[in-house]
Amino acid sequence: MTANATAQVVIYSSSLCGFCFRAKRLLDSKGIAYEEISVDGRGELRQQMMQLTGGRTVPQIIINGDAIGGCDELYLLDRQQKLDTLLAAS
Report the distance separating Cα 59 and Cα 67, nearest Å: 11
In the chain, the domains with their CATH numbers are 9-88 (3.40.30.10)
pTM above 0.85, yes or no: yes
Burial status of residue 38 (CB atoms within 10 A of its CB: 0-12, 13-18, 19 or more)? middle
Please provide residue 59's backbone torsions phi and psi, each rounded to the nearest 5 degrees.
-80, 155
Report the distance separating Cα 80 and Cα 53, nearest Å: 22
pLDDT (tens digit per residue) in 10-49: 999 999 999 999 999 999 999 999 999 999 999 999 999 9
Q: For the residues 47-73, what does the mean pLDDT come to? A: 97
**Which three-class secondary structure state does DSSP give residue 54?**
coil
90 has pLDDT over 70 = no
